[in-house]
């Protein structure tokens, strides 16, 4: 099977799973946005995915993102998502060339974005719902005060919350973590904050995105499921 055939097969399988998961949750299929996580694949493969209709790509390293954006500059309607940990010193190199940031995990990063951004940046606030010490992000108990402080930064629009579940989480634990993030998002959205409409939830990866959809994900970040044989 060629690379293009494999990509087409996997893309169709992912779309089918999204349709099944949204249907089971009594949600429309278009209520979930699929982000193809392409951090490990070359731009030729991304071009093949683009030709299949995939135009939303997620990267987690600033140097790789910059290189790929240059190589794919002719594909002008790609939507770029930065999904990895963003160091403050790297903000200036990418913040004006991405459409979404999924990893706003500290106030010092918000301060640097405010300093460097030319326009408003759509951001997901990262929340550590599992309490893992190895995970970055705000604790759920910090969200209220964090959002109050983010109101001072007019270059940041908090469109939603993001989390990463532990890689060894059980199915029951996944439901718990994703449900908790959705509940937090709903509480914030109800406040109707101008700077933080918080209408979206970014959660779920290749191994757990159907569960994330069941619990209310609106953005899923899928990588290996696109490329594995």
Number of domains in the chain: 1
pLDDT band (50, 70, 90) for residue 44: very high
Task: For residue range 87-135, list pLDDT tens digits in order.
Answer: 999 999 999 999 999 999 999 999 999 999 999 999 999 999 988 877 8
Hey, what long-range contacts does 211-215 have (CB within 8 A, 24 or more apart)? 211/171, 211/174, 211/175, 211/178, 212/174, 212/178, 213/18, 213/21, 213/22, 213/25, 213/27, 213/32, 214/21, 214/24, 214/25, 214/175, 214/178, 215/175, 215/178, 215/179, 215/181, 215/182
**Residue 2's pLDDT is what?**
86
User: What's the CATH code of the domain at 110?
Assistant: 3.20.20.10
Q: Quick check: helix, strand or coil at residue 122?
A: strand
Which pTM was predicted?
0.96
185 vs 198: CA distance, rounded Å: 6
Task: For residue range 146-200, list pLDDT tens digits in order.
Answer: 999 999 999 999 999 999 999 999 999 999 999 999 999 999 999 999 999 999 9
pLDDT band (50, 70, 90) for residue 217: very high
pLDDT at 227 > cutoff 80: yes
Mean pLDDT across the chain: 96
Domain that includes residue 200, residue range: 3-226
């Amino acid at each position: 099977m060629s690379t293009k055939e494999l990509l087409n097969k996997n893309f169709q399988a992912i779309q089918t799973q999204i349709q099944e998961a949204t249907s089971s949750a009594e949600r429309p299929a278009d209520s979930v946005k699929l982000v193809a996580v392409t951090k490990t694949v070359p731009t030729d493969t991304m071009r093949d995915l683009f030709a299949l209709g995939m135009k939303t790509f997620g990267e987690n390293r600033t140097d790789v993102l910059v290189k790929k954006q240059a190589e794919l500059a002719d594909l002008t309607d790609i939507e770029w998502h930065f999904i990895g940990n963003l160091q403050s010193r790297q903000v200036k190199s990418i913040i004006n060339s991405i459409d979404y940031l999924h990893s706003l995990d500290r106030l010092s990063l918000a301060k640097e974005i405010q300093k460097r951004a030319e326009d408003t940046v759509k951001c997901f606030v990262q929340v550590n719902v599992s309490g893992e010490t190895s995970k970055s992000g705000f604790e759920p108990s910090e969200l209220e005060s964090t959002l109050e402080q983010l109101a001072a930064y007019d270059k940041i629009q908090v469109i939603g919350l993001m989390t990463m579940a532990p890689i060894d989480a059980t199915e029951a634990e996944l439901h718990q973590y994703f449900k908790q993030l959705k509940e937090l998002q709903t509480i914030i959205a109800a406040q109707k904050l101008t700077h933080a409409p918080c209408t979206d939830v970014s959660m779920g990866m290749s191994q757990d995105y159907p569960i994330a959809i069941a619990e209310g994900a609106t953005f899923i970040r899928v990588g290996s499921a696109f490329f594995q044989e």
